[in-house]
């Protein structure tokens, strides 16, 4: 059977002596005219060609439609006129082998099958059931109903077991490269510009210090000191570069007399007051000697003059 499309303007040859049209069925949407009968074939209507062997043509009745053409091959393909058949008719004839399949052809049974043979007689293909390779498992095979319980993971495979399961680093795709790009926990050597959270001012732990933390600590230490004393070098110079400055100052103060009721030792000295001075100023031995000498040589008048600053 072949499907042929016919139009209203052109007659389409359905056979030419190499194939005999026995039936035409209109499967299209419009009627067709089939010659030499000149018969109209409505959509869905079949028409039997009798007597067989006459040349048959068809065209659409006012439009394009499709016909299903049933043929019988009377002349092997390749004879004169075969190439003038409708293309779909030729395809149908060629698909049938143009005269049948040679009896020498064989049907071979593949894996799991049995039977077959050449086409000199009817052949049967059977299924070979079994439990070995190359056979087919039957639906009632006991193996299909044998319940299987998964084996639990052995406790010995745990990390502390006798045969722990280990996976090499190289067995995990990309793991080595990923670890190389990470820093170790112990003594990491960072590159680029590492960052850490800035600790609260005054923190004194093993927490990593950011540059912001250090800058804030230095600013608090300087605390708006004058520019001449805002570095450790300037402070050291101001202290005379004395690493024991506190001890030096303490010792120096210990060698000084207090302002209130001092107890002087050694040979204290003081400026000698002017003759006749009569205040709380310290009197030196020179002041006293002058005053005493005047009294012994000049009498009371001289002393009076000394006290008045005349002598």
Mean pLDDT along residues 261-267: 89
- Round to whole Å and give the CA distance between 5 and 65: 6
- Residue 82: the pLDDT is 45
- Round to whole Å and give the CA distance between 163 and 84: 82
In a domain, 221, yes or no: no
In a domain, 77, yes or no: yes
DSSP characters for the chain? Answer: -EEEEE-SSS-EE---SSEEEEEEEE-SSS-EEEETTTEEE-TT-EEE-SSTTS--EEEESSS-EEEEEEEEE-S-TTSTTGGGS-HHHHHHHHHTTTT---TT-EEE--TTEEEEEETTS---EEE-B-SSTTSB--TT-GGGG---PPPPPPGGGSTTSSS-----GGGSTTHHHHHHTS--SSS----S----PPPPTT--SSSPPPHHHHHHHHHHHHTT--GGGSSHHHHHHHTTT-TTHHHHHHHHHHTS--SSS----S----PPPPTT--SSSPPPHHHHHHHHHHHHHHHHHHHHHHHTT--
Last residue of a domain, one of 35, 70, 95: 95
Query: CA 182, 188, 189, 193: dihedral to nearest 10 degrees?
Result: 70
Mean pLDDT along residues 64-92: 53
- Round to whole Å and give the CA distance between 270 and 283: 8
Task: Check whether 205 has a pLDDT greater than 60.
Answer: yes
List the one residue out of 104, 126, 106 whose CA is nearest residue 115.
126
Task: Check whether 198 has a pLDDT greater than 90.
Answer: yes
- Residue 77: the pLDDT is 45
Contact 248, 242 (CB under 8 A): yes
Spatial strand order of the sheet with 19-26 comes to 2-6, 65-73, 19-26, 46-48
Mean pLDDT along residues 113-129: 87
Task: Check whether 80 has a pLDDT greater than 50.
Answer: no
In a domain, 45, yes or no: yes
Query: What is the pLDDT confidence band of residue 301, given thresholds at 50, 70 and 90?
Result: low
In a domain, 181, yes or no: no
Number of domains composing the chain: 2
What are the tens digits of pLDDT across the range 7-48?
A: 666 777 666 555 566 667 766 666 676 666 666 677 777 766
Give the CATH number of the domain where residue 48 resides.
Answer: 2.60.120
In a domain, 8, yes or no: yes
In a domain, 29, yes or no: yes
- Residue 155: the pLDDT is 75
What are the tens digits of pLDDT across the range 221-233?
A: 888 788 888 888 8
- Residue 119: the pLDDT is 78
Task: Check whether 122 has a pLDDT greater than 50.
Answer: yes
Highest mean pLDDT among 46-55, 97-106, 202-211: 202-211
In a domain, 183, yes or no: no
Last residue of a domain, one of 95, 119, 147: 95
- Residue 144: the pLDDT is 79
Task: Check whether 305 has a pLDDT greater than 60.
Answer: no
Residue 187: which residues within 8 A CB-CB, separation 6 or more? none
Give the percent of the chain with pLDDT over 70. Answer: 65
Strand partners, 57: 13, 35
What are the tens digits of pLDDT across the range 147-189?
A: 777 777 777 777 777 888 888 888 999 999 999 889 999 999 9
- Residue 288: the pLDDT is 86
In a domain, 125, yes or no: no
Last residue of a domain, one of 39, 72, 95: 95
- Residue 22: the pLDDT is 60
- Residue 76: the pLDDT is 46
- Residue 187: the pLDDT is 92
Contact 26, 60 (CB under 8 A): no
Query: Does residue 70 or residue 274 have the better pLDDT?
Result: 274
Q: Which domain holds residue 87?
A: 2-95
Residue 195: which residues within 8 A CB-CB, separation 6 or more? 210
Q: Is the dihedral of CA 57, 61, 63, 69 positive or negative?
A: negative
């Amino acid at each position: 059977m072949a499907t042929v499309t016919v139009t209203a303007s052109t007659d389409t040859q359905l056979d030419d002596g190499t194939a005999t049209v026995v039936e035409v069925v209109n499967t299209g949407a419009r009627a067709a005219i089939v010659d030499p009968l000149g018969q109209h074939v409505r959509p869905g209507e079949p028409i039997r060609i009798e007597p067989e062997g006459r040349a048959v043509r068809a065209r659409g009745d006012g439009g394009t439609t499709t016909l299903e053409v049933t043929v019988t091959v009377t002349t092997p393909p390749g004879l004169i006129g075969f190439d003038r058949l409708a293309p779909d008719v030729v395809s149908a004839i060629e698909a049938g082998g143009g005269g049948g399949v040679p009896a020498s052809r064989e049907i071979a049974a593949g894996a799991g099958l049995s039977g077959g043979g050449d086409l000199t007689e009817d052949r049967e293909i059977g299924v070979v059931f079994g439990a070995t390779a190359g056979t087919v498992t039957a639906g009632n095979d006991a193996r299909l109903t044998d319940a299987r319980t998964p084996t639990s993971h052995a406790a010995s495979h745990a990390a502390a077991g006798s045969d722990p399961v280990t996976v090499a680093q190289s067995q995990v795709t990309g793991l080595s490269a990923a670890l190389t790009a990470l820093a170790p926990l112990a003594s990491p050597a960072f590159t680029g510009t590492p960052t850490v959270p800035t600790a609260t001012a005054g923190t004194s732990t093993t927490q990593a210090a950011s540059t912001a933390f250090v800058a804030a600590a230095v600013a608090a230490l300087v605390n708006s000191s004058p520019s001449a004393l805002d570095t450790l070098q300037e402070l050291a110079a101001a202290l005379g570069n004395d690493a024991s400055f506190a001890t030096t100052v303490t010792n120096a103060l210990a060698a000084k007399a207090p302002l209130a009721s001092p107890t002087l030792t050694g040979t204290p000295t003081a400026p000698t007051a002017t003759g006749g001075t009569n205040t709380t100023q310290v009197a030196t031995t020179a002041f006293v000697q002058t005053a005493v000498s005047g009294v012994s040589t000049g009498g009371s008048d001289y002393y009076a003059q000394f006290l008045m600053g005349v002598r």
